[in-house]
Amino acid sequence: MTMPPPVPFHLAFPVTDLARAREFYGGVLGCRVGRESDRWVDFNFYGHQLVAQLVDAEQQPAVATNNVDDHAVPASHFGAILPWPDYPQLVARLERAGIPFAIEPYVRFAGCPGEQITLFVRDPSGNYLEFKSFRDPKMLFATDLSSD
């Protein structure tokens, strides 16, 4: 079955400093800034609409984690799935900007049909982002990602 092209999604998320959010999402990640006010900023995040909503620091939620591949993966996170050849460019961009990895880039399911590379970073407000890439993009929604 052929998948239809993705429909852009909208995600609003809390930030504690709009200027730092604009610097991270617009500057470091290269997201185009859209509409904005003194309480929110729209970003074009790989064709999707992210809205950074200003909140007080004490309103920023704590993040629970789950153990995945011996990593404490934040249960609350969002991100993008990049083409395999573009992934090293993002890693280099994050490293040049001095963004520390919450989880260093690593390969999951190496040599298997679902082989993918993933990393986690935090934005200046503590939101976690995951960036991943599948060696075979058709495996994105596959149910068996390991070899037999």
Q: Rounded CA gap, 36 and 43, in Å?
A: 9
Specify whether the CB–CB gap between 130 and 78 falls below 8 A.
Answer: yes
CATH of 10-57+64-139 among 1.25.60.10, 1.10.3720.10, 3.40.50.1000, 3.10.180.10: 3.10.180.10
Q: Which residues of the chain have pLDDT under 70?
A: 1-3, 145-148
Specify whether the CB–CB gap between 121 and 132 falls below 8 A.
Answer: no
pLDDT in tens, 46-85: 999 999 999 998 887 777 888 998 998 988 999 999 999 9
* Average of per-residue pLDDT values in the chain: 92
Is residue 93 within a helix (H) or strand (E), and if so which, with residue range? helix 87-96
Q: First CA to last CA across the chain, in angstroms? A: 23
Tokens in use for 17? Answer: 């400093």
* Tokens 């399911």, residue located: 109
Q: What residue ranges do the domains of the chain occupy?
A: 10-57+64-139
CA angle 7, 13, 85 (to 5 degrees): 50
pTM equals 0.90
